[in-house]
Every structure is written in structure tokens, then in C-alpha cells.
Amino acid sequence: MLTRLSIRNVVLIEALDLDFAGGLGVLTGETGAGKSILLDALGLVLGDRADSGLVRAGEDQASVTASFEFTRLPDVVKAALAEAEVDVEPGEPLILKRRVKADGGSKAFINDQPVGVALLRELAPALVELHGQHDDRGLVNPRGHRALLDRYCGGDAAGVDLAWREWRTRVEALAAAHAALDQAAADRDLIVAHLAELAALEPAEGEEEELASARADMQKGERLSGDLAELQHLWAGSDSALAALRGAARRLDRIAPEHPLLAEALAALDRAVIEASEAEDRLARAAEALSHDPAMLDRIETRLFDLRAAARKHHCTVDELPAKMRSLRAALDAIEGGDADLAALEAAAAKAGEDYRAKAEALSATRQAAAGKLDAAVAAELAPLKLDAAKFRTSVNPLPEDRWGPSGIDAVEFLISTNPGADFAPLAKIASGGELSRFILALKVALAEQGGAATVIFDEIDRGVGGAVASAIGERLARLASGGQLLAVTHSPQVAARGSQHYMIAKSSEGTVTRTSVVLLDSAGRQEEIARMLSGAEVTAEARAQADRLLEGV
């Protein structure tokens, strides 16, 4: 609920700090004292359009701060704050602030964290519900009537919402499958042709690297063939250098025992023969590895060209061609087996649709039954509010299937008829300002147990009525305020006497400076203000006595 409202430099208000409590708070004062300024200030901090005309003359900026406290933060508020990444600790007050500059610029804050004004507007319906002479929101707006009836009847609106989302998900999956199959069928001949080409090619992962390496070796062999042949000739035949070394080793072996140096020479020659033999072996192996086969080189180059051409055609690398083959086979299998998958998706979508319809029809039946009960509850409140000739009806009408949605299959709207025999029509189109406020009060009383905004404000709901009707309004406002918070701007002493807190709004002038102030009245102050409301400009003893009787009567 609203616990504190701080206003700085808003029109006639220089500085004002108001503390509020639960229950019924009434705000009174003479006409033109500035009650509308308070509501404008509260509207500003709740996201209304920033008007530079609100800034007090001669000041650079105006500001309004509203503090709200909750035992448990409303889910809709918690979700909106989480999405906006605004941190509010459990048990911590929710503090909204708005600053408006004289040039029209504005800034918004929640718990000292900068936010967009749109977030204030999003939170406003859960924080404050305002009903006034020209109310075009809240209970008057038919867009919220269905949700109000659902809360009243206790139907499974959440289940219908979930069923709708499941149905939509299934329908979208089916549509996507149809589109995919249609596209795949259109591409079937192309897929078959591509698959046949790749199957004939039989690409393998790593093949490109192996072929490129083999081709490079052959190209080197072609370039080195002359040198290799000449080197092999040096090592081959009886007149080669290696043959000469071996011959020298045999002759030296026969005379080596004759002198130690000859034995050492033989050992060195044997090592040379061994090294030369290894060189001969490696030369032969190199010649074999680098052998140049023109036919084989041509086959390798042709294979590389075919693989790379296929990769370019399919916009992938050569090593990705096997995976491309697998994906084409999968696409072909999907086309050939798509009917079975499609049948399963169609069955799932049909089942989800039946589930949604069943839940929505059950909710619709619950709404129809609750509508009659709500009509009766509102009707019981109309006569005491001097609306005994009026009738209230909750219209629950089926929607065409193309307008079904997460809220079900019904259109819900609150309608009234103000005169016998007159047609029923929307609240805002039929009722006058005073009638509209009393209709809203009757509806609020009927819906009292169904929750709503943390703070409810009625602006001059008692305009144009008095006596027993004003007393009935005061009694109902007090009943609505029990266990919650309701603020009423009123000109009726009967309503004012019902308040658990009474604020008096006054305007004063000093020279050319005019100020609006608000005072929380004590018992004596309440008696005097109610007496003023009863008697007018001059407060009489009789008016004070009547004020006492009103206060004692509540």
C-alpha cells in the first residue's frame, strides 16, 4: 500500500510530505483548494505524461516520490522489476520517484535506480487504482472485464492459458513440418541427382590431403629424375665407387694383420663401406618414392579436380563431402517417411486443440454461472446508492474461432441500463459522472474479495448526492477499505466521518504567492472540518453537534 507521498514544487505545492496508513483515508477541503494537484502529482509518479506546467512558477524542476510497502510484493510487480533488472530486496519499500524539469524533460527512478517511464506505467495498475468523474481506465475499460470475472468465478484461467500456448506450439510445429516437406518435395529431384553424383564420387575424409601429398611427391620425382638416375649409376655396377670401396676392403683385409695401422685403416674402410651401403639403400628408396608415373599423376589430378569441383558445388570443403552425402540421404529419407511424421504432428496438434477447447468451454460455463451471481451482487448494491432504476449485466458472449486466445473463447463486458426499458450499453457510454462512480463502487463492493491494486482512490464519488445515499457510499467505502487501503477525495460529511485518517487540503496566499497545504487532522480538527462541510463558511454549534453525531455513529 501507499505509505508516503513527498511532493516538491508541483504547481501550488512547495513542499509536502504525507504519511498514509491502511484503511479508509479521506481528503477534504474547499473547492479549488488543490485536491486535483495531489492526484496529478500521484499520476506523475505513476507514469503519466510529464507536463512542464506542473512545475511551480520560478522553480527549475518538480519532483514526486511515492513509497509503497508490501507484506509480499505482487507477482506482476516482481516480474516487471526482474525483467527491467531492478533489484528490490524482500521487505524493502518500493520507492518510485519522478523529476520533471521546467523545460519538460523528466527522469524516473525506482529505489534510486534509473528506469524508463514506461516501467512506472507498467507497475501503476498493480499499485494504484483511480476512479474519478472521467474514469476511462480500471473497471470502465472492457479490456480488463474478463480478468475481473475470472478472479470472481475462480475458473481455471491459468490452465486455459497453458493449453492455448501448447496448442499454438503444436500447430506451429505442424505448419513448419508442412512447409519443410513441401520445400523438400520440390527439391526431391535435385536431391536425388546430387546424391547420385556424390555416391558415384565416393569421397572420403582425409582423401584430399593424401592425394595432394602423392601428387607433390610425383611432381618432385619428375623434377629430380635426372639427378636420381645419375646418382644411382654411381652406386651401381662393377665400376661404381661402392664396388671399388668393397674391393679395397677385401685386399686390405688380407694384409691388415701385418701392422696395427693397417688394421685401423681396415676398420675405417669397413665403416665407409657400411655408410655407403646405407646411402645406396636410401637412394633406392627415395627413387622408388619419387618415381614418376605420368598415368598415375594424371589420375590423381583428375580425382582432386572432381572432389574440389563437388565441394564448390555444395559450398563445403572436400572433407565435408561425406557429411553432405549423409545430410542429403537424411533429407531424402525425411521426404519418403515424412507422411508418418506429419501424421504424428497432426495428431498432437488435434489433441492439444481438443484439450484447449475442453478447458476453454469449462471456463466459459464457469463464467456464465458467475456472471449471474455477479449481476445479483451488484444489483443488491444499486438501490442504496440511488441507482435503483438501473440494471447491471455481465455480458459473456462466444467469440468466433479466429478470435480465440489465451484468455479463452468468450468476450466479457460489463453493461448497464440506467432507465427502465433502456438498452444495455457499456459503462462509460451510458452513465453520467456521478452515476459512473457509484456503479464502479457497487462493482468494487461485489468484487471486494477478488483483490486488485494495492491502493484504491475514489475522486469525488459522492458528487451530487447526500443524506442516506452519501451514508451508503461512506459505509461501502469503509467496507472496501477493511484489510486494505482506500483513499477518497470527498465533499460529503457522511463519507468523511467514515475515515480512519482525515486529511484537510487548504490553500493560502501571502501577497502574490499562493500555496496548497495538507494537514492530517486530529479528533478536534476532524470535528471542525466535518462541521464546516455541514454548515458552509460559518461553523455553527449545531453543525459541530451534528459532526459529533456523525463521528459517533461510525
Residue ranges of the chain whose pLDDT lies below 50: 136
Q: Say how far apart CA 285 and CA 63 lie, in whole Å.
A: 93
On whether the pTM is more than 0.75, the answer is no
Q: What's residue 104's pLDDT?
A: 80
- Return the closest-CA partner of residue 486 out of 436, 445, 529: 445
Are 472 and 168 a contacting pair, CB within 8 Å? no
Q: What integer pLDDT is reported at residue 155 of this predicted model? A: 87
Rounded distance between C-alpha atoms, residue 480 and residue 449, angstroms: 9
Cα–Cα distance for residue pair 150/159, rounded to 1 Å: 12
pLDDT of residue 133: 56
Model pLDDT, residue 57: 86
Query: What DSSP assignment string belongs to 203-259?
Result: --TTHHHHHHHHHHHHHHHHHHHHHHHHHHHHHSSTTSHHHHHHHHHHHHHHHGGG-
- Which residues, 6 or more positions from 127, have their beta carbon under 8 angstroms from its beta carbon? 2, 46, 68, 77, 94, 96, 453, 454, 455
Q: Is 294 helix (H, G, I), strand (E, B) or coil?
A: helix
pLDDT on residue 99: 94
User: Which tens digit of pLDDT belongs to each residue from 110-152?
Assistant: 999 999 999 999 998 889 888 765 554 557 778 888 988 988 8
Helix (H, G, I), strand (E, B) or coil at 72: coil
Structure confidence at residue 413 (pLDDT): 93
Distance from C-alpha of 273 to C-alpha of 206, rounded to nearest angstrom: 42
Q: Is 539 helix (H, G, I), strand (E, B) or coil?
A: coil
Domain boundaries, the chain: 168-340
pLDDT of residue 312: 92
